[in-house]
């Protein structure tokens, strides 16, 4: 039931965006792609403000303003420079990606322990089921919103907006500036999209840089569904149709997840659906035949120029951003560090690497130099950055993550490469075995120990159990970890596994709910970047439905996971630092075997156990190396085994 | 009082390319208040361009336009809408097809005014609109809530005309507004045009393809050719003229510019 009410609630929250698209697409015949960026901008603005102590409701008008500003820019370049609407949207959307990253400061902001409108509502909950209480409040809000929007579109101003889209020649003859009017409409629409983003971020518990991708298509689908089910000339009915369309679309997503359909397939279905509808409406609208083609020809020059200018700007931007610092001292070793994104997976590896390098007497800026780059989640960008590091003349390249390592080993043959935090180097052809591998490559690897995690679970819960897991199949690491889980399951025939795949962080919440709806007794999380970034959503479901989370991710214990068993990526960074040291001292990387993670961590969360009503058996209490109790994380400092040996020898 | 003053107006389309057209060639014209000017001329002689330049849809290369003594040469169309109302040749251009008749009339009622988020379309204004529609004599007063797209071309043109005079404009521009209509409807729209212009004492410029209309309507007629005004006939002169006199004028042009007899035939077909 939660899954379906949750879907309806999501539909309400996305309805603000759908109304925005209704304004641009239905009133102005302008499919505004900007919203893919604006949605994230709204989420980013809201999240960063909330983290800085703002009230979750006062951030909404700010998200609206920031969104409208983005819309204003699209409208402005579209009308004033006569750049085709789609292209204007693409330009602004692309630019917004960087803006959003700057607003957030990293690619993901968790809001789990911050006040959101959800926690605000929970405070006033008279004792109903939380999701149902949310539903009651949201439906009241949405009915008000419906009335306000419909009435607005019937005022003199609203009628003028509608007439402008319907016949610009006529409205100009009545003394209305079509340009200003369009800009206003597009700004208004993007403001609503910003609100939608702000609400969704609060509802799912985080903002993520990639959460807006595909918004325009989903939103168009909602508008089209709405039009199909409630076809009417009355503006009240039309607006109602759009809201219902948004809800129906989210219910369809929930159904697809529930039925175990791959959401990646859902996307192509949505795209085909929208395409088919567009073609048919175009077909009936004979007088606009070939309008796009004609427009393209008419503005061909502007198209070419804007593309050119865009590329030049991008080029300049990256050249300036990644410009290597000029260094004349040839004897200082230069290390190139490449991270795939801003997740804590990467930053922990990085921290372990820096800390251990310092212990080995490398002082960046003094007796060595480290050039650090981050691909910000853009996979193709890794290759560009590897090229950049090579041309900067690094002595050793340290890619962190599978994606970065893959880019490094395919492009670099001369310079030593020391990878870290890779699940399976053999799957990306770095070698055949630990000792038989590429001549210039070595590194630290290890996949999550699924077997041990399942074993710990069976110690906690006996007998036949249903368990659930979710993951994004697009990541190669995930596939390795999943295969490992399947293998481990063979030893535990009493466990029945339900799987749900997701294609982005914003789907995790619904996916977790769909698992909960199947009656699982635990979430067993393998290492997966998407789920890692959206862990808050899983935790939210875990708390609401009292289903514990078991994870192979040792670093998220304090975020609401009941039990973790896995590697800390900090260790991976430490080990990589030792390998880099050996390579810089002249060892041949081809002769250094690949290393597995040397330390596993086992953590239990007493606070979460209290909330879920779980008791840890004594055997588990004793074995744990990390505990989280009374909001405090207790762990021993991490020391590599060799270091311990050296220390015992010297003392 | 002078309503419109035009001096040295020149417009060159596609300058520098093979299909360069001098659509207006140093046009000078003065139109006084309450003048009803009809404009005739060959196809492509610049009649529509002249109207578009007055309305602000096209900005001229050279020359000056003053309306009520105020220079508006470079003002965009929407800024001139407080003086000027228009009816286009294409009945689809003057109205918004997916909006109701009442909504279209409201847009015209607000011509040149600021639009606030107020619900002005109330019962009172609707009954006013109904009375106005009744004056069209087309049974449209019952269809206030119908969308414009359901009306015939003639009905739409009549409503556009009504919209143009709903707020009495300083200048009414009519560009072959009956050319796309069947003769019966055209006659009806012309009757309405005459009625509105007389009732509101409008200053109007009407481009027409019909010699009859040019002769019967208005107090002054100008003839255009190749972007120039080649004749300006006052109302006294007009009373004496017949359609044949007009055609003879074209004959004179032929002599000056060596028009082929075939072209003359086309002109006769056009204007008879
Ligand atoms: N927007 C335009 N671009 C290029 N040429 C134009 C444009 N508008 C009109 N013309 C040309 O200018 C000339 C005058 O056109 P117009 O004023 O429409 O003539 P008409 O007297 O038939 O109304 C014609 O040769 C026409 O092809
Ligand atoms: Mg014309």
Confidence (pLDDT) at A479? 79
Which is more confidently placed, A105 or B250? A105
**If you average pLDDT over each of A127-131, B163-167, B255-259, which comes out highest?**
B163-167
Structure tokens at B233: 């006939």
Average pLDDT over residues A402-423: 87
Nearest Cα residue to atom 20 of ligand 1:
B44
Q: Nearest-CA residue of chain A relative to B81?
A: A175
**Ligand 1 within 6 A of B46 CB?**
yes
The answer, yes or no, to whether residue B105 has pLDDT greater than 90, is: yes
Neighbour tally for A272: CB within 10 Å = 10
Model confidence band, residue A284 (pLDDT cutoffs 50, 70, 90):
very low
The answer, yes or no, to whether residue A392 has pLDDT greater than 60, is: yes
The answer, yes or no, to whether residue A647 has pLDDT greater than 50, is: no
Q: Which of A114-128, A132-146, A164-178 has the lowest mean pLDDT?
A: A114-128
Confidence (pLDDT) at A312? 57
The answer, yes or no, to whether residue A329 has pLDDT greater than 90, is: no
The answer, yes or no, to whether residue A297 has pLDDT greater than 70, is: no
B51 alpha carbon – ligand 2 mean position (Å): 9
Partner-chain contact A176 B78, CB within 8 Å: yes
Structure tokens at A603: 């953590």
Nearest Cα residue to atom 16 of ligand 1:
B46
Average pLDDT over residues B12-22: 91
Q: Nearest-CA residue of chain A relative to B99?
A: A163
Model confidence band, residue A648 (pLDDT cutoffs 50, 70, 90):
very low
**Measured between CB atoms, which of A155, A169, A176 is closest to B119?**
A155
Closest ligand by atom to B50 CA = 1
B43 alpha carbon – ligand 2 mean position (Å): 7
CA-nearest of A501, A524, A478, A18 to A226 is A18
Closest ligand by atom to B45 CA = 1
**Measured between CB atoms, which of B98, B117, B147 is closest to A157?**
B117
**Measured between CB atoms, which of A152, A173, A177 is closest to B117?**
A152
**Ligand 1 within 6 A of B23 CB?**
yes
Return the ∠ at Cα A91 (arms to A89 and A92), rounded to 5°.
70
**Measured between CB atoms, which of A163, A171, A175 is closest to B112?**
A175
Average pLDDT over residues B186-201: 94
**Ligand 1 within 6 A of B150 CB?**
no
Average pLDDT over residues A569-589: 94
The answer, yes or no, to whether residue B103 has pLDDT greater than 80, is: yes
Confidence (pLDDT) at A320? 55
Confidence (pLDDT) at A43? 96
B175 alpha carbon – ligand 2 mean position (Å): 7
Distance CA B50, CA B222 (A): 12
Which is more confidently placed, A555 or B40? B40
Neighbour tally for A276: CB within 10 Å = 11
Model confidence band, residue A277 (pLDDT cutoffs 50, 70, 90):
low
CATH architecture of the domain with residue range A334-446+573-596: 3-Layer(aba) Sandwich (3.40)
Q: Which residues of A touch B95 (CB under 8 A)?
A: 167, 170
Partner-chain contact B107 A170, CB within 8 Å: yes
Average pLDDT over residues A112-139: 89
Average pLDDT over residues B203-222: 90
Query: Long-range contacts for A149-153 (Cβ within 8 Å, ≥24 apart)?
Result: A149/A19, A149/A239, A150/A235, A150/A236, A150/A239, A150/A240, A151/B119, A152/B117, A153/A235, A153/A239
Q: Which residues of A touch B117 (CB under 8 A)?
A: 152, 155-158
Model confidence band, residue A8 (pLDDT cutoffs 50, 70, 90):
very high
Neighbour tally for A107: CB within 10 Å = 20
Model confidence band, residue B119 (pLDDT cutoffs 50, 70, 90):
very high
**Ligand 1 within 6 A of B169 CB?**
no
Distance CA B27, CA B54 (A): 12
Confidence (pLDDT) at A71? 97
Q: Nearest-CA residue of chain B relative to A162?
A: B99
Whether A450-567+599-635 and A334-446+573-596 are alike in CATH topology: the answer is yes
Q: Nearest-CA residue of chain B relative to A165?
A: B96
Confidence (pLDDT) at B3? 94
Average pLDDT over residues B166-188: 94
CA distance A164 to chain B (A): 8
The answer, yes or no, to whether residue B111 has pLDDT greater than 90, is: yes
**Per-residue pLDDT tens digits for A421-472:** 888 888 778 888 999 999 999 999 987 789 999 999 999 999 999 999 999 8
**Per-residue pLDDT tens digits for B43-55:** 899 999 999 999 9
**Domain boundaries of chain A, sorted by first residue:** 2-212, 334-446+573-596, 450-567+599-635
Nearest Cα residue to atom 7 of ligand 1:
B13
Q: Which CATH class is domain A450-567+599-635?
A: alpha beta
Would you list which residues of chain A are within 8 Å, Cβ to Cβ, of chain B? 151-152, 154-160, 162-163, 166-167, 169-178, 233
B25 alpha carbon – ligand 1 mean position (Å): 12
Closest ligand 1 atom to B207 CA: 23
**Measured between CB atoms, which of A155, A174, A178 is closest to B108?**
A174
**Per-residue pLDDT tens digits for A109-125:** 877 678 999 989 989 99
CA-derived radius of gyration, chain A: 27
Domains of chain B: 85-168 (3.40.50.300)
What are the residue ranges of helices labelled H in A360-449?
A: 379-391, 402-411
CB B199 within 8 A of CB B36: no
Partner-chain contact B96 A170, CB within 8 Å: yes
Partner-chain contact B117 A158, CB within 8 Å: yes
CA-nearest of B54, B78, B42 to B5 is B54
**Ligand 1 within 6 A of B43 CB?**
yes
Ligand 1: which of B9, B12, B13 to mutate, judged by most atoms within 8 Å of the beta carbon? Answer: B13
The answer, yes or no, to whether residue B224 has pLDDT greater than 50, is: yes
Distance CA B240, CA A24 (A): 58
**Best of A149, A154, A156 to mutate (most B CBs within 10 Å, chain B):** A156
CB A110 within 8 A of CB A538: no
Confidence (pLDDT) at A34? 96
CA-nearest of A77, A54, A69, A75 to A99 is A69
Q: How are strands ordered across the β-sheet holding A465-471?
A: A495-501, A465-471, A522-525, A549-553, A563-567, A600-605, A626-629, A632-635
The residues whose Cβ lies within 5 A of ligand 2, an ion, are: B 48
The answer, yes or no, to whether residue A325 has pLDDT greater than 60, is: no
Neighbour tally for A104: CB within 10 Å = 22
Model confidence band, residue A286 (pLDDT cutoffs 50, 70, 90):
very low
Distance CA A13, CA B26 (A): 61
Q: Nearest-CA residue of chain A relative to B165?
A: A174
* Burial state string for A8-36 with b = 16 or more CB within 10 A and e = fewer than 16: bbbbbbbbbbbbbbbbbbbbbebbbbbbb
Distance CA A433, CA A427 (A): 11
Q: Which residues of B touch A184 (CB under 8 A)?
A: none
**Ligand 1 within 6 A of B51 CB?**
no
CA distances from A143 to A139, A399, B124 (A): 6, 52, 29
CA-derived radius of gyration, chain B: 19
**Ligand 1 within 6 A of B13 CB?**
yes
**Measured between CB atoms, which of A151, A166, A176 is closest to B98?**
A166
Q: What is the pLDDT of chain A when averaged over all its residues?
A: 86
Q: Which of A16-30, A117-131, A457-471, B98-112 has the lowest mean pLDDT?
A: A117-131
Neighbour tally for A208: CB within 10 Å = 27
Ligand 1: which of B25, B48, B86, B267 to mutate, judged by most atoms within 8 Å of the beta carbon? Answer: B48
Distance CA A356, CA A421 (A): 15
Residue B87: helix, strand or coil by DSSP?
strand
Closest ligand 1 atom to B51 CA: 17
The answer, yes or no, to whether residue A24 has pLDDT greater than 50, is: yes
Q: Nearest-CA residue of chain B relative to A175?
A: B78
Average pLDDT over residues A330-344: 85
Confidence (pLDDT) at A472? 87
Model confidence band, residue A287 (pLDDT cutoffs 50, 70, 90):
very low
The answer, yes or no, to whether residue A321 has pLDDT greater than 70, is: no
**Ligand 1 within 6 A of B45 CB?**
yes
């Amino acid at each position: 039931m939660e899954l379906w009410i949750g879907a309806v609630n999501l539909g309400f929250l996305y309805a603000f965006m759908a109304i925005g698209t209704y304004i641009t697409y239905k009133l102005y015949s302008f499919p505004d792609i900007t919203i893919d960026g604006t949605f994230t901008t709204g989420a980013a603005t809201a999240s960063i403000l909330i983290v800085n102590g703002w009230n979750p409701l006062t951030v909404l008008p700010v998200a609206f303003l920031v969104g409208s500003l983005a819309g204003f820019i699209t409208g402005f370049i579209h009308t004033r420079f006569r750049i085709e609407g789609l292209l204007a949207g693409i330009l602004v959307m692309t630019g917004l990606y960087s803006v959003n990253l700057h607003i957030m400061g990293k690619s993901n902001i968790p809001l789990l322990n911050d006040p959101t409108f959800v926690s605000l509502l929970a405070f006033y909950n008279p004792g109903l089921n939380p999701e149902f209480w949310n539903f009651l409040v949201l439906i009241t809000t949405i009915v008000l919103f419906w009335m306000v929007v419909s009435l607005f579109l019937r005022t003199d101003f609203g009628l003028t907006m509608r007439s402008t889209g319907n016949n610009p020649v006529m409205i100009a003859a009545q003394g209305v500036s079509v340009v200003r009017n369009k800009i206003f409409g597009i700004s208004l629409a993007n403001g609503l999209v910003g609100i939608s983003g702000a609400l969704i971020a609060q509802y799912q518990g985080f903002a993520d840089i990639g959460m807006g991708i595909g918004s325009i298509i989903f939103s168009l689908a909602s508008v089209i569904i709405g039009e199909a089910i409630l076809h009417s000339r009355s503006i009240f009915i039309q607006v109602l149709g759009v809201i219902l369309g948004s809800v129906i679309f989210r219910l369809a997503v929930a159904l697809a997840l529930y039925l175990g359909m791959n959401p990646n397939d859902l996307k192509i279905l949505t795209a085909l659906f929208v395409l088919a509808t567009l073609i048919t409406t175009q077909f009936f609208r004979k007088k606009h035949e070939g309008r796009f083609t004609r427009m393209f020809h008419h503005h061909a020059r502007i198209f070419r120029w804007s593309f050119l200018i865009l590329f030049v700007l991008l080029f300049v931007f990256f050249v300036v951003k990644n410009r290597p610092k000029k260094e004349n001292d040839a004897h200082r070793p230069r290390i190139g560090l490449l991270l795939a994104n801003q997740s804590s997976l990467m930053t922990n590896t990085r921290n372990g690497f820096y800390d251990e390098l310092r212990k080995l007497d490398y002082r960046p800026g003094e007796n060595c130099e480290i050039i650090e780059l981050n691909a910000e989640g853009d996979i193709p960008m890794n290759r560009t950055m590897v090229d950049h590091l090579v041309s900067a003349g690094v002595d050793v390249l340290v890619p962190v993550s599978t994606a970065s390592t893959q880019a490094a080993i395919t492009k670099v043959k001369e310079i030593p490469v020391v990878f870290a935090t890779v699940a399976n180097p053999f799957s990306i052809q770095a070698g055949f075995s630990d000792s038989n591998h590429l001549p210039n490559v070595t590194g630290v690897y290890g996949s999550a120990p699924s077997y041990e995690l399942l074993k710990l679970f069976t110690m906690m819960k006996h007998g036949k159990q249903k368990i659930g897991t979710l993951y994004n199949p697009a990541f190669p690491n995930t596939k390795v970890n999943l295969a490992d889980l399947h293998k481990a399951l063979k030893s535990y025939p009493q466990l029945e596994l339900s799987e749900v795949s997701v294609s982005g962080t914003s789907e995790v919440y619904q996916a977790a709910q769909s698992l909960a709806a199947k009656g699982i007794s635990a979430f067993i999380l393998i290492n997966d970047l998407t789920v890692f970034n959206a862990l808050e959503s899983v935790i939210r479901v875990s708390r609401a439905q009292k289903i514990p989370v078991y994870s192979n991710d040792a670093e998220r214990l304090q975020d609401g996971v009941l039990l973790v068993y896995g590697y800390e990526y900090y260790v991976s960074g430490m080990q990589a630092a030792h390998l880099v040291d050996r390579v810089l001292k002249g060892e041949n990387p081809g002769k250094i075997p690949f290393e597995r993670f040397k330390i596993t961590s086992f953590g239990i969360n007493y606070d979460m156990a209290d909330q879920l009503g779980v008791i840890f058996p004594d055997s588990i209490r004793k074995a744990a190396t990390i505990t989280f109790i009374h909001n405090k994380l207790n762990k021993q400092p991490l020391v590599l085994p060799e270091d311990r040996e050296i220390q015992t020898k010297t003392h | 009082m002078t309503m419109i003053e035009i001096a040295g107006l020149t417009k060159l389309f596609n300058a520098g390319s093979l299909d360069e057209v001098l659509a207006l060639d140093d046009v000078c014209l003065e139109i006084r208040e309450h003048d009803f000017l009809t404009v005739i001329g060959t196809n492509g002689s610049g009649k529509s361009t002249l109207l578009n330049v007055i309305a602000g849809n096209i900005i001229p290369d050279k020359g000056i336009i003053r309306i009520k003594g105020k220079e508006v040469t470079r003002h965009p169309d929407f800024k001139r809408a407080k003086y000027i109302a228009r009816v286009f040749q294409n009945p689809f251009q003057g109205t918004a097809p997916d909006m109701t008749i009442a909504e279209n009339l409201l847009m015209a009622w607000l011509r040149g005014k600021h639009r606030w988020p107020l619900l002005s379309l109330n019962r009172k204004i609707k009954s006013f609109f109904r009375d106005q529609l009744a004056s069209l004599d087309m049974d449209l007063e019952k269809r206030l809530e119908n969308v414009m797209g359901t009306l015939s071309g003639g009905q739409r043109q009549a409503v556009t005309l009504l919209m143009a005079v709903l707020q009495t404009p300083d200048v009414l521009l009519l560009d072959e507004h009956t050319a796309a209509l069947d003769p019966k409807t055209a006659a009806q729209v012309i009757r309405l045009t005459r009625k509105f212009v007389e009732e509101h004492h409008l200053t109007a410029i009407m481009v027409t393809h019909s010699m009859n209309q040019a002769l019967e309507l208005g107090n002054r007629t100008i003839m255009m050719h190749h972007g120039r005004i080649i004749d300006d006939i006052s109302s006294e002169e007009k009373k004496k003229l017949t359609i044949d006199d007009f055609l003879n004028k074209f004959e004179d042009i032929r002599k000056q510019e060596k028009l082929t007899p075939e072209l003359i035939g086309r002109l006769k077909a056009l204007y008879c």
